[in-house]
Amino acid sequence: MPFTSLTDHVESLLAGAAEEPLPIVAAGDPVLRRPAEPVDGQLPDELLARLIAAMRVTMHAAPGVGLAAPQIGVPLRLAVIEDAAAVSEELRAARGRVPQPFRVLVNPSYEGVGERQVGLYEGCLSVPGYQAVVARHERVRLRALDGQGLAVDEEFTGWPARIVQHETDHLNGTLYLDRAELRSLSSTQSSVRVRRWAQPTPQLASQELGFTLPSSD
């Protein structure tokens, strides 16, 4: 996308009230299936800062723990994450879910650290109403730039590692369903799902729906 059209697109997107969440693009839109282009000066600094602020507002309003720019129709390698991790101690222990401060990820990439993978239920703001089990690296090394353009080279583990993988995948045109165990796909509106599958781990779902979790679990 040419520089001026991307700038115009973002300006138009942000033309509404500053504190209003932006519409989230749903699965089926091509922007979610194309690799996003690296952030490399396409947007003026002030406009990029406004875009990041709007992404944070949108993530909070959804609510979610991460949001990638393609999810609001902007094809840039840019994501934001934040997680208060307001969950029970049982969930915290089982999923490795610990609080994450607000972070801006510019041009992120990740690689798995070690062989261990963990399967957990996962959802997506662009695929509303469903969750499915995804096996992901328990630990990853993230390389990116932060909101000030400083280099990030950091390891994440547990649920924060899952967030990093999920959001970075978005920037590669990959949805979580591409990696999911489809036999685990469950409606979040289903009383069966709420009663049976909303547990710290998907062990019961694995047994009753007939799918296999990573052996390292």
Any idea which residues carry the catalytic annotation? Answer: 167
The response to whether 60 counts as a known ligand-binding position is: no
Strand order in the sheet with 117-122: 117-122, 130-137, 180-187
In the structure encoding, which two tokens stand for residue 209, read together?
């729906």
**170 belongs to an annotated ligand binding site:** yes
Angle between helices 3-13 and 45-61 (to 10 degrees): 40
H helices of 14-44, in order, are none
The alpha-helical segments, DSSP class H, found in the chain are 3-13, 45-61, 89-95, 158-171, 191-192, 203-209
Structure tokens at 110: 């990740």
Does residue 166 have a known ligand-binding role? Answer: yes
Known binding-site residue numbers: 124, 166, 170
Known binding-site residue numbers for Fe cation: 124, 166, 170
